[in-house]
Amino acid sequence: MRSSVILATFLACLFHPALVTAQNNPPPAPPAASEAPAPDATTRAGQRLDKLFEKLKESESPTAARIVAADIVRALEQSGSPTTDLLFTRAKDAMTARDFDLALDLLDYIVTLKPQWAEPFHRRAMIHFLRNDRDAAYRDIREVLSREPRHYIALSGLGGILRASGNAKGAYKAFTRALEIHPFLADLKQQLERMKVEVEGQPI
């Protein structure tokens, strides 16, 4: 029973409304230009992401939060390189078609090109989890969070893996942190309510 709940949690993260919205409404194609971004492009992208996460935390309704969350996903999926962005789009398409071998090959190549980009590790973790390779999924989620600690979808996935491994306390912490970042994750709120009994009396 618990394994089915965990799988449902991770699949909910995989098909999170923000992810679906962002995939159905991709950002405009970057203009043909030099492969290297402008010197301050990374700084500007980081500042924009900071503002979006702050706006998400302050959202006053689920609808407002969904809009901001979709913007965050789109921002996370932009590497600053037209080449790697195109490869990443192809990897997402392969995932949608459930061609996981092709998706992994593309993602493996992307992380060699852009090792500091969090999102390819996140997508790779999803594939590993769907293939029931929790150890590999856990390793990739840790890579995501080392690069972007506010990645609430990865935190949700981490919580699912920890709970499946019997670490209720760790799962509770991960789910709680995800909700601090995105306060309108209704499924996680329900899970935390159910988990209170498991962790009651234990230091969180």
Write the pLDDT tens digit of every residue in 60-94.
999 999 999 999 999 999 999 999 999 999 999 99
Burial 77-105 (b: 16+ CB within 10 A, else e): bbbbbbebbebbeebbebbeeeebeebbe
Confidence (pLDDT) at 3 = 45
Burial 23-37 (b: 16+ CB within 10 A, else e): beeeeeeeeeeeeeb
Burial class (CB in 10 A: 0-12, 13-18, 19+), 41: exposed
CATH number of 2-23+49-199: 1.25.40.10
Q: How many residues does the chain have?
A: 204
| Cα–Cα distance for residue pair 122/16, rounded to 1 Å | 13
Indicate the range of 16-20, 100-104, 159-163, 169-173 predicted with least confidence: 16-20
Q: How far is CA 172 from CA 8, 107, 188, 195, 203, in A?
A: 17, 30, 10, 7, 11
Q: Is the pTM of this model over 0.85?
A: no
Confidence of residue 112 (pLDDT cuts 50, 70, 90): very high
d(CA 157, CA 152): 9
Question: Looking at the predicted structure, is the pLDDT value of residue 108 above 90?
Answer: yes
